[in-house]
Amino acid sequence: MWVIINGFKESIPEKASIAEVIHSRLEFEIHMIVELNHRFIHQKDYETTYLSEGDILELIHPAFGG
């Protein structure tokens, strides 16, 4: 199935969870922010939140420092 990840159309397996997408992309940043269809998803929900055709997933890495 096709979804948009960080602005790019990508093919992922049917019924993939957010956790599966994060692990397949090697995105393991503890402070990463995840949005699904413009809504914040809490880290505890990554395993149980499944993507559907056409979803928009944003994996945001905040920059800290000064």
Residue 18: exposure state from Cβ atoms within 10 A (0-12, 13-18, ≥19): buried
Per the structure block, which two tokens stand in for 40? Answer: 């914040």
**In sequence order, what are the residues at sequence separation of 6 or more whose Cβ sits closer than 8 angstroms to the Cβ of residue 18?**
34, 36, 41, 45, 46, 47, 49, 50, 51, 57
Does 48 map to a domain?
Answer: yes
| Residue-number span of the structural domain to which 55 is assigned | 2-60
pLDDT of residue 65: 72
Q: What's the total number of domains in the chain?
A: 1
Specify if 49 maps to a domain: yes
Structural domain contains residue 65: no
DSSP summary character for residue 2: E
Quote the pTM value. Answer: 0.88
Q: Does a structural domain hold residue 6?
A: yes
> What does the block give as tokens for 35?
């949005």
CATH number of residue 54's parent domain: 3.10.20.30
Query: 66 pLDDT exceeds 70?
Result: no
